Amino acid sequence: MCLGVVGRVEEIMDMVAKVNIGGAIVEVINAIEDLAVGDLVIVHAGLAIEKISREGLIDNIVLFYDIQKYHYIANGYSEEEAARMALNDIVSYGAELGISVDEIISRISLSSRYEKYFGDKC
């Protein structure tokens, strides 16, 4: 199985781009024709292989929330503790990519099953 990671383009230099991935600036080969500073990209094996839209990124962050939450539950945390910890994880990740807390919470809160964990933020 292959894994691509999402990063934000910080600088473009011919065929090489500097991408911020989790706070680390890495140089990758640019395989995207119309790449621009600020674009969100998927990086795999040292290549920027695809742009990802802001909406697509938020959708992925919400999926990551579910994965994290069930990871914490599987490791013995209550459902409420797991939801709070998972939210902290994705808020941190989203902030690195320019996604606000409100955008993340509003997307998660579209499903009423999460409302009890976020109180007045929903």
Instruction: Quick: pLDDT tens for 17-57.
Output: 999 988 899 999 999 999 999 999 999 999 999 999 988 88
State the pTM of this model: 0.72
Q: How confident is the model over 59-103, as pLDDT tens digits?
A: 888 888 889 999 999 999 999 999 999 999 998 888 888 888 888
At 28, which helix (H) or strand (E)? strand 24-30
**Domain count for the chain:** 2
Residues 45 and 30 in one domain: yes
Q: What angle do CA 12, 13, 15 make, to 5 degrees?
A: 100
**pLDDT at site 27:** 97
CATH of the domain at 37: 2.30.30.140
Asked if 63 and 78 sit in the same domain, the reply is: yes
22 lies in the same domain as 59: no
Domain that holds residue 113: 55-121
Q: Tell me how far apart the alpha carbons of residues 103 and 107 are, in angstroms, rounded to a whole number.
A: 6
